[in-house]
Amino acid sequence: MSGIYTVPFVAVAVTAQQDFFEVVAAATKQLVIIGFGLSQSTEVGEAQEEGLSLILKSGQSTSGSGGSAPTPAALDTSNAAAAGFACEVNNTSKASTGTILTHYCWNWNVRNTPWDILLPEPMQILLVAGRRATLELATTPADSITLSGYMVCQEVG
């Protein structure tokens, strides 16, 4: 489990499209996106269900803004070396420009919570040194949704 980290955000009111997660591999290491998850706590009593489009992309050369930069948490607490990769969450200005690849697209019904994705090894995204990736909310919610989430990444090298 060495080199595996989670990037979390907790109880964020989401009202706009955004990058839920933005990760950038360190200059001297590769970064593997292993999985991620989202859950919400406000839409449980709603009469209407809401579907949101989520897109996993890589290759953006310009970082997003408007969010925060959490400290990645090591899963192996006996060897809790600081992560070398950079991360941001809930950027309301999305990462852009560059040679952008769309790897995966999903439609998430927010009443089906939690939403957890574990990518099997052949489907994991490998980011070379300095490459950026995002998990993007591509639709605007109809109303404010309180979301929590995490991304699991492994530094290699």
CB atoms < 10 A from the CB of 137, how many? Answer: 24
Structure-token pair, residue 116: 């957890």
Tell me which of 157 and 154 has the higher pLDDT.
Answer: 154
In angstroms, the CA 157 to CA 93 distance is 31
User: What is the pLDDT at residue 44?
Assistant: 66
Cα(150)–Cα(69) distance, integer angstroms = 13
In this prediction, residue 7 has a pLDDT band, given cuts at 50, 70 and 90, of very high
Mean pLDDT calculated for residue range 99-114? 91
pLDDT band at 49 (very low <50, low <70, confident <90, very high): confident
At 1 the three-state DSSP class reads coil
Distance of CA 36 to the CA centre of its chain: 6
Model confidence at 45: pLDDT above 90 = no
Domain borders along the chain are: 4-156
Taking residues 125-134, what's their average pLDDT?
97
> In the chain, what are the helix, strand and coil shares in percent, each to the nearest 5?
5, 60, 40
Q: What is the pLDDT of residues 136-152, one digit of tens each?
A: 999 999 989 999 999 99
Average pLDDT on 79-95 reads 92
